[in-house]
């Protein structure tokens, strides 16, 4: 993890010292079930992510609209990845060697984002990425790794799990203490009740009333401490699970509704 982070940082530093290649980000095409009003903000988020990574000088879709005339936009911005000669012409018009294209579509109840970067000099893609998520917010959270794969740049370091794991461990210990301490209090309470029951037939074995009241008060305090520890532990474990970053494994499968049946979608 540390080596990956240092490698990405060193690469970004070298690129800032030299002239970085230019990359044009085209607006995402809206697929089935997605309106153009949704693709615009997503395109901006992708552009911001590419800029933040520092490997390219980025030309945004808004820059392209300002640089190209209306007719030229209609001719070139309708290019698809399959029209590589058209994409190369667009790249030449913008002075950008690389062009990032993509699409956003809805698959049943899930959303799919597809990104690809074309090298206009070699007229071939340098990277592709596909992400599927249950909603747009979850899909947005995958942009760092998706942009890295699509632009063939180092993957960002995974989010730290130190805090959530610490919360889960501490909460588990507190909950375990609460269970053990509470069970011990209940056992002692049962023993005290048995002693009092035995004293009904043998009064001489009983101690003073004050001593038993003191024991009952101590047991009640012990039970409250156990309950507080158990509830605190449960809250810490729940918080840790909520904060725990999802596993960003490369493989993911999901069943989503399609018409009258189900469809299997995923990424590898």
Task: Supply the pLDDT for residue 96.
Answer: 81
Q: How far apart (Å, rounded) are the C-alpha atoms in residues 145 and 158?
A: 9
How far from each other are the two terminal CA atoms of the chain, in whole angstroms? 21
- Closest by alpha carbon to 253, among 107, 116, 123, 70? 107
Task: Supply the pLDDT for residue 77.
Answer: 53
pTM summary value: 0.55
Half-sphere exposure of 209 (CA within 13 A, CB side): 0
- Closest by alpha carbon to 79, among 131, 126, 24? 24
Task: Supply the pLDDT for residue 157.
Answer: 76
Q: Domain 2-150: which topology? A: Rossmann fold (3.40.50)
Domain residue limits, the chain: 2-150, 162-243
Task: Supply the pLDDT for residue 268.
Answer: 41
In order along its 268 residues, the chain shows pLDDT tens digits of 434 444 444 444 444 445 789 998 888 888 888 888 888 889 999 999 999 988 999 988 887 777 765 445 555 555 554 455 566 666 666 778 898 989 999 888 899 999 999 888 888 888 999 999 998 999 998 999 999 999 988 887 777 788 888 999 999 999 999 999 999 999 998 888 888 777 767 766 677 778 888 988 999 999 999 999 999 999 999 998 888 876 554 444 444 444 444 454 444 4
* Burial status of residue 11 (CB atoms within 10 A of its CB: 0-12, 13-18, 19 or more): middle
Task: Supply the pLDDT for residue 250.
Answer: 45
Pairing of strands 252-258, 261-267: antiparallel
Task: Supply the pLDDT for residue 89.
Answer: 63
Q: How far apart (Å, rounded) are the C-alpha atoms in residues 115 and 184?
A: 59
Task: Supply the pLDDT for residue 104.
Answer: 92
Task: Supply the pLDDT for residue 112.
Answer: 93
């Amino acid at each position: 993890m540390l080596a990956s982070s240092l490698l990405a940082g060193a690469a970004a530093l070298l690129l800032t010292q030299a002239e970085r290649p230019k990359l044009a980000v085209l607006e995402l095409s809206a697929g089935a079930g997605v309106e153009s009003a949704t693709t615009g903000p997503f395109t901006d988020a992708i552009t911001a992510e590419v800029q933040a990574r520092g490997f390219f000088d980025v030309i945004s879709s808004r820059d392209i609209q300002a640089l190209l005339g209306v007719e030229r936009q209609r001719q070139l911005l309708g290019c698809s990845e399959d029209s590589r000669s058209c994409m190369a012409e667009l790249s030449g018009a913008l002075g950008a060697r690389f062009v990032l294209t993509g699409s956003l579509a809805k698959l049943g109840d899930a959303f799919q984002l597809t990104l690809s970067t074309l090298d206009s000099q070699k007229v071939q893609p340098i990277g592709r990425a596909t992400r599927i998520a249950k909603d747009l917010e979850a899909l947005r959270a995958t942009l760092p790794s998706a942009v890295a794969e699509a632009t063939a740049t180092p993957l960002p370091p995974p989010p730290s799990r130190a805090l959530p794991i610490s919360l889960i461990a501490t909460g588990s210990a507190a909950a375990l203490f609460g269970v053990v301490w509470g069970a011990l209090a209940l056992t002692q309470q049962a023993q005290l009740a048995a002693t009092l029951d035995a004293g009904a037939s043998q009064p001489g074995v009983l101690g003073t009333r004050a001593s038993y009241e003191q024991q009952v008060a101590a047991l009640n305090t012990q039970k409250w401490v156990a309950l507080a520890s158990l509830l605190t532990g449960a809250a810490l474990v729940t918080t840790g699970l909520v904060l725990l970053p999802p596993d960003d494994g490369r493989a993911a499968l999901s069943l989503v509704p399609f018409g009258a049946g189900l469809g299997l979608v995923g990424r590898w």
